Structure 1
Amino acid sequence: MAKALRTLTLLMGWACVAIGLFHVALGNAALPGAGSAGATVDSWGRFMGASFVGYGLAWVWAARQRPIPAQAVRWLAGVFLLGGAARLLSLAVHGRPHWFQIVLAAIELGLPPVFFWLAEAEERSGAGAAARRPVTKSA
């Protein structure tokens, strides 16, 4: 389970970094249907792309820890799940977006439970339990 969690966490991190850089570089052109949205949306999209790079780097950081901090994975997956919930709210308020946004929502709602499950399995394993034990100094 630890290898699966590490691999998926690292993949998630680098995917978020790549997607974020794509949005920073392309602005409105990175969003289907937003090419003519104007300077305000372009500025917001590039800022959010930079934020997504930081979010991805947090995933990469978590993947590089030994053992992987299950609590950090839960928080990061929770943020991802919140993004999917936000897309559902947008769907309810404004209707169906571009089809690709529906695909992203499915990923954002479906992947976090996998991370929660893997993080729980890691935490229950000896490696995860060792990470929660406090370090004590010997006399």
Structure 2
Amino acid sequence: MTKATLLRGLVLTMGYADLAIGLFHVLLGNAAIPGAGSAGPTVDSLGRFLGAIFAGYGLAWIWAARQSPIPATAVRWLAGVFWLGALGRLMSLAVHGWPHWFQVVLTAIELTLPPLFLWLADAEEKALGPAGER
């Protein structure tokens, strides 16, 4: 498997996963968060709103995957946003302690994937050359 093939597969998977997760949060609200219990209407409203934003984030990944070549700049920005989310989780850990185990797993994924995306970001642009042709 080439780096370009891996990039395309990961970008598309990221897009569909984020879209599904975002819609899941829009539909279920607080019930979509393991260990959250009932956080009340204010947090439920926030969670559903952020779910919609996350679904849009997933659509941005899907858009990137549908370009030829996949734009390295878009991958870098999207990976940076994902990494920022991981840093937010680490801040929460420092302030409030350990969350539900599933959130810890998500944090590990969010810390691991961005460097991989940054490493692969320009793989397809390099593989296709300056004219972007196969």
TM-score, normalised relative to structure 2: 0.92
Q: Name the counterpart of 1:85.
A: 87
Displacement of 1:2: 1.5
> Hey, what does 1:26 align to over in structure 2?
28
Which residue of structure 2 lines up, in the alignment, with residue 2 of structure 1?
4
Question: Is contact 1:28-1:37 (8 Å) kept?
Answer: yes
- Large movers: runs of 4+ above 4 Å: none
Name stretches of at least 5 consecutive residues in structure 1 with no aligned partner.
132-139
Could you give the per-residue CA deviations for residues 15-58 of structure 1, whole angstroms, max 9, x where no partner exists? 00000010001000001222311000000000000000000000
Residue in structure 2 matched with residue 127 of structure 1 by the alignment: 128
Identity of aligned residues (%): 72
Structure-2 residue corresponding to 1:115: 117
Between the aligned partners of 1:56 and 1:45, the Cα distance in structure 2 is 16
**Count of residues paired in the alignment:** 130
Cα distance change, pair 70–35 in 1 and its aligned pair in 2 (3 A)? same
Of structures 1 and 2, the larger Rg is shown by: 1
Mapped contact 1:68–1:128 kept (Cα < 8 A) = no
Aligned to 2:60: 58
Letter of the structure 1 residue corresponding to residue 90 of structure 2:
L
- Structure 1 residues 20 and 77 mapped into 2: Cα distance closer, same or farther (>3 Å)? same
- Contact 1:23-1:49 within 8 A present in 2 as well: yes
RMSD, aligned CA: 1.2
| TM-score normalised by L of structure 1 | 0.89
In the other structure, the counterpart of 1:100 is 102
Structure 2 distance, partners of 1:68, 1:33, is 37
Closer, same or farther: CA 129–109 of 1 in aligned 2, 3 Å? farther
Partner of 1:134: none
Question: Where do 5+ consecutive residues of structure 2 fail to align?
Answer: none
